[in-house]
Structure 1
């Protein structure tokens, strides 16, 4: 049973609820809606308990709430051992804590949980806005902790001021630990819910998929080169290969997707590389996509941890990208090998696969060309020439029927990149030529301020590859036949008025906003390079620049010297500040009272509020109760109310003879005459 003096006052409760709200707010977009209602209801119930209108729930009600919570989590999430249900469970734990929030100990437990909930914000995103919001969350939660010291500390200005001072004092140590502490990997790995919404190129392609991506200007890749930069027409960032077609949708298929039998080389050197050095070296920073596909130029190789190479010239990651990821790549877009490795019979069958029926007009058109004796390259040239003469590149293609290839080639003749790539590969397969669809990004915007290539979601693209005996896989971009400016100058140049037509704010048409957007992206790029990607390798390089040879003694001195300087500076600041500042008269008089009570055997505790101190004096020394109550009331009137008469009364009360005779009535006339 808690002592009444330990029960939480109204100000403490409000601070706790404010800290919980700030910690939960960014999570509400990811958590089920019922969790937000559960938190609001728990806060309402606790406030009703404070007003005396309800009682705290008993064990049967608590048990029922726990059962409902478990049932809600089971219905909301398909699997339990994942990030989202773990965060939801953590949020619910301090939501339910409100139903038994009674003492200061309960308040401290709730606020410590709030720190953990606020920290989960950075599991998904480490951008600058999230970092600033995380700082605000820590500031509010720390202020809520400071507010638990007493009613005087719960005043917003004082609580926030104390929080700012504490965080400012901790900043030097935080920066030191950021540089010095070893970069360890996670002790465990909690997977995220892959059923949640994804961004970027998907593992399948149907008419309209890339049209949807063309409406997003979100960054997808940032690529910094160590050496030459490929020209715009060579910037094909391949990520997926579609080999299976069901008549409408292209998929990776068995033996291509690493999750379904596709072979991946995870160790450097497992896959033979050309003897001649790579043509391009670069570092890719890829945004979170919730998929394992990485993007690179053709013929890539990477020594980055957790990155593997596939047989069809792609890079994949062992685990899906739930956060921004950086990896180094070497590429040989023009393989100097004179004779490619022959196509196996299984690969040939896979890349000739077509449905048994459907799209009969396309099949018949190809058959007529074959009867004329045209080979693979001639049929390809015929189709590309037809694209150039008769077709229109558009971001608003009409809907296609069941036989989507026939409808596109002979009826609508209007489409986006997936229409051209899909119909081209179908036609070449019908002609007996192994072909496949490749998906990724094409192009990119050069950011001269930081020297990197910015690839956005609207740069998503699909093209084709055909197998030519003696030459291997050759890239063919059917979109370039109908709209060569798409490859040379990007989507905005090719789409014209259709580009980002549905956006609320036409940022791409206002030069000032375009420059501002690029400046913001450069700031984000520098933030990631400096802070987020500060791994063990960068830490070692930084320490070597600062210390030269790294040794335990130098590390100890490097760690201890700044700590000693900061502590000495704080000590000097405290001493000099206390000498230079004279406390207000009301505080000095109250200090006299505290010292006299200490001599009487009741010392004031650190951070103890005047009202709490007076109650403790009354309980320990009943004969001093009236005197302590008078002094406390007068002090509060003088300190918080600003009453000049209260200051005079306090000075009169603290005369030594009144301490000996605390029950002597005060002579108001004498007081007024002083």
Structure 2
């Protein structure tokens, strides 16, 4: 059976929706081609019933394979695979002329649409993709034979599809919970989360953190076992950058002294759990300064945490930190020398200023205080920092005097080293928003921060945040309060609303995204099965399916007789309801002619009586005089029923 234009147009729209879920990851030229083909095919099909020749379709398939290989290098992997699938789906429209082809294309469109969840599984995106299934189900419903109702309004098709999707949700939930799975989440495939935020990098140069500081996406969430630290103490250590080449700060791979920098805690330790969002980088965070972390994580000598390989799935781990401490009270001479190194030929004015402070007899504490006082009196915090030249620190300290955390921390460390004080840059996150509902701390990418550490005799590495001297609001109230106009998200209502709704994102991540085989095995603990194996899970799945189907059957049985009618019955029911407004109700054992006789007595001397007689005669002829009524006559009858108005109620 050949597709009608209406059916084909629905199929083309379904394909467009499925492809649209991938457009952000496809090359721009391929995206334009994929979006343009379905409307062009809809237009050409409306003008001519001629099918597309195989002599055109086959070369287009070969061309698609060639361009995917040229762009991605191969056909394997999520990115090239999704590009190829999108292209094949669009090309399938060129040969979809019959119901069988359309059903295959609609099923393939559902596969292409759901494959978008291999890239990101946020709750908003998942709900959006799932809602798009309504259009695909409406397309499949429109492909079913329905001679009397084939021209149903699109709204009716969508309502039916939404009902079908809703009925499938309990079955899908049962399959999600009890279908035996691999050790990782279903989407924990190699290379998952290709669109994850990159987060902090292992180098820092002027302006390198600008985009991160205006990114309001979540970076991680922290749940504390005791009271959360004060806002000013929420420093989360991530990367230590001791090497400086005049422009860029980088990590030091090998310390002179092997092993961890010793730390002496001077306050009770704090235990907490971090849920770190995918970043494609190995760097994790820990409250400054960490004492220990979960097995499987690496703690580097500078007391920073990292994972093995890039973080491609939400990473949950526990750690213990102490807020008051002495870190590395004794500094190895080689490490000390590294913490004093400055490149030759850079920033002469900065060196001169630090030398002058020393020549005036100022000790380490006085030099630090002088630098902070200078920042406080003469500098401005802004994300719209001017560009800096070759001598970036000189330009910043003596010319622009405007910047944000990376400018202040970099300049401060250079000043300290020029004055003979070992110093280094530390990057991480500072601040966060506390959720009273979820009882956790939400830290966004915009909370990224850079500060300094100086080594003082007897005290070890001491954190000094020069940004706090310039803009205390950044430390006490958070990044959005200090960002100003550059932070689009810091409106009076938008960010607070997103923060409050983040508890939903957290529950989604913990309950769905991180649902793996280990958690699945504990599902049946309430019924006495401590560790469910595949047999237990399959039995639970069968039981859940049986319970859902039984409940659905009982609901249908309790709902009484079916309310589904064809177009003719629906129009007759509408007529009966309108006549009932005049005082005459159809009886269960009454045929249309008997109903008309009673109505005549009630509608004496009214113009509606003749119209009612015509309508009843038309219904009898359509329902009983022919094997199958003509669709056009049924539609004409339904239109006349809509125009019929019952007279005032007759006593």
What range describes the TM-score normalised by the shorter chain of this pair? 0.7 to 0.9
Query: Residue 119 in 1 paired to residue 114 in 2?
Result: yes
1:160 aligns with 2:158: yes
Moved more, 149-158 or 439-448: 149-158
Q: CA deviation at 1:643?
A: 9.7
Stretch deviating more after TM superposition (92-101 or 367-376): 367-376
Q: CA deviation at 1:222?
A: 2.2
Residues 1:489 and 1:503: Cα distance change in structure 2 (over 3 Å): closer
Secondary structure of 2:453's match? Answer: strand
Assess if the C-alpha contact under 8 Å between 2:266 and 2:326 holds in 1: yes
Matched, 1:461 2:449: yes
1:343 aligned residue (321, 332, 345): 332
Structure 2: gaps (5+ residues): 571-614, 629-651
Distance, in Å, in 1 between the alignment partners of 2:473 and 2:40 is 63
Q: Distance in 2 between matches of 1:102 and 1:136?
A: 27
2:525 is aligned, of 544, 554, 558, to 544
Whether the 8 Å contact between 1:121 and 1:130 is mirrored in structure 2 is: no
Query: Aligned-pair distance for 1:507?
Result: 1.9
Whether the 8 Å contact between 1:246 and 1:355 is mirrored in structure 2 is yes
What displacement does 1:309 show? Answer: 2.5
The Cα of 1:442 is off from its aligned counterpart by 0.9
- Once the two structures are overlaid, the 10-residue window that deviates more, 270-279 or 457-466, is 270-279
Larger CA deviation: 372-381 vs 349-358: 372-381
Q: Distance in 2 between matches of 1:582 and 1:37?
A: 43
- How many residue pairs are counted as aligned between the two chains? 577
Aligned to 1:311: 301
Structure 1 position 528 matched with structure 2 position 509: yes
Distance in 2 (alpha carbons) for counterparts of 1:363 and 1:286: 40
Structure 1 unaligned runs (5+)? 257-261, 589-641, 656-674
Q: Note closer, same or farther for the CA distance 1:74–1:467 as it changes in structure 2 (3 Å cut).
A: farther
TM-score by length of 2: 0.76
Distance 1:35 1:569, change over 3 A: same
Shift, 1:582, TM fit: 8.5
Match of residue 569 from structure 1: 551
Q: Name which of 162, 171, 174 aligns with 2:172.
A: 174
Query: How far has the Cα of 1:126 moved from its partner?
Result: 2.3
Q: Give me the whole-angstrom Cα distance separating, in 1, the residues matched to 2:292 and 2:193.
A: 27
TM-superposed deviation, 1:374: 5.2
Q: Is the partner of 1:418 in helix, strand or coil?
A: helix
Matched, 1:235 2:225: no
CA distance in 2, matches of 1:304, 1:644: 82
Q: 1:53 to 1:572 in 2, by over 3 A?
A: closer
- For residues 255-299 of structure 1, give each alpha carbon's deviation from its aligned partner in whole angstroms, at most 9, with x where no partner exists: 59xxxxx99x9xxxx999989997122222334434332222134
> What is the CA-CA distance between 1:212 and the residue it aligns to?
4.2
Deviation at 1:41, TM superposition (A): 3.9
Correspondence 1:60-209 to 2 at 5 A: 61-74=56-69, 76-77=71-72, 82-150=77-145, 152=149, 155=152, 156=154, 159-184=157-182, 185=184, 189-191=189-191, 198=197, 200-209=199-208
Moved more, 646-655 or 433-442: 646-655
User: How far has the Cα of 1:423 moved from its partner?
Assistant: 0.8
Matched, 1:481 2:469: yes
How far does the alpha carbon of each residue in 1:467-495 deviate from its partner, in whole angstroms, 9 at most, with x for none? 345543322212223333432333455x4
Quote the residue 2:602 is aligned against.
none
**2:424 paired residue among 426, 429, 436:** 436
1:356 equivalent among 335, 344, 347: 344
Q: Normalising to structure 1: TM-score of the pair? A: 0.74
Partner Cα separation in structure 2 for residue 104 and residue 645 of structure 1: 34
Give the distance between the partners of 2:58 and 2:78, measured in 1 at CA: 25
Work out whether residues 382 and 404 of structure 2, in 8 Å CA contact, stay in contact via their aligned partners in 1.
yes
Report the CA distance shift for 1:536/1:226 in structure 2 as closer, same or farther (over 3 A). Answer: farther
| Aligned-partner SS, 1:99 | coil
* 1:226 corresponding residue in structure 2: 225
2:144 alignment partner, SS class:
coil
Does the aligned pair in 2 maintain the 1:245–1:355 contact within 8 Å? Answer: yes
